[in-house]
Amino acid sequence: MKTLPAPPSPRRPSPDGHADGVSNDEFRAAMSRLAAGVVLVTAREPGLDPDDPAAPAGEDVGMTATAFVSVSLDPPLVMVSLREGSRMDDLLAEQPLWAVSVLAESQRHIAGRFAMKGRISDRLLFEDIPYVRGSASGAPLVGGALATLECRTEQTVRAGDHTLVIGHVLTASLPSTEGGPLTYFRGRYRQLG
């Protein structure tokens, strides 16, 4: 029987203030070893004045996420983690309807496009991506995704520098059965196998 080495003893708080002494880099490196599925979270931003047809229309908003999990079967609940203060975090604080497209391995370009910092407007990001508008949420559902879900926010929880959004699943579909899932591991998008 092989004996594993003892974990390192607790250290003093690191310069970035973590009480247990784990630095941001150490935490990020450890968590990069956890493979995660990649999804595109979308929502429709309401128009400035829904009662005025001349007012600017709402815009579709999207973001890539790897912190997305099933929470409950009865009722069907899912959870996504959003960086506090991000456009999606701000939008879902006001708009309770949103959607998730589980990306296929062939959709790496979509994941990269909606994850980049300093990106162009969301309107341009959606321009050449095939999608249908969800019947329950009005949000874009990406064509060719392995699965799509439409959700209504049931609860939000502040957690450090993120907001955990728990959504009640209103619709679920399987638009594509081709290919495997897109995953994220050690800081890169990957395919299974």
**What is the model's pLDDT at position 83?**
92
Give the model's pLDDT for residue 193: 66
Please provide the size of the chain in residues. 193
Calpha distance 47→110 (Å, rounded):
25
Evaluate whether 134 touches 147 at the Cβ level (below 8 Å): no
Rounded Cα distance, 80 and 65, in Å: 8
The pLDDT of residue 97 is 97
What's the pLDDT score for residue 10?
A: 54
pLDDT tens-digit profile, the chain (193 residues): 566 665 555 555 545 555 567 888 888 788 776 778 999 999 999 876 767 776 667 889 999 999 999 999 999 999 999 999 888 999 999 999 999 999 999 999 999 999 877 666 777 889 899 999 999 999 999 999 999 999 999 999 999 999 999 999 999 999 877 889 998 888 888 877 6
Q: In whole angstroms, what is the distance from residue 38 CA to residue 189 CA?
A: 8
Question: Which helix (H) or strand (E) covers residue 67, if one does?
Answer: none
The position carrying tokens 């979308």 is: 42
What pLDDT is attached to residue 6?
A: 57
Return the pLDDT at 52: 72
Distance CA 89, CA 61 (A): 11
- Asked whether 19 and 13 are in contact (CB, 8 A), the reply is yes
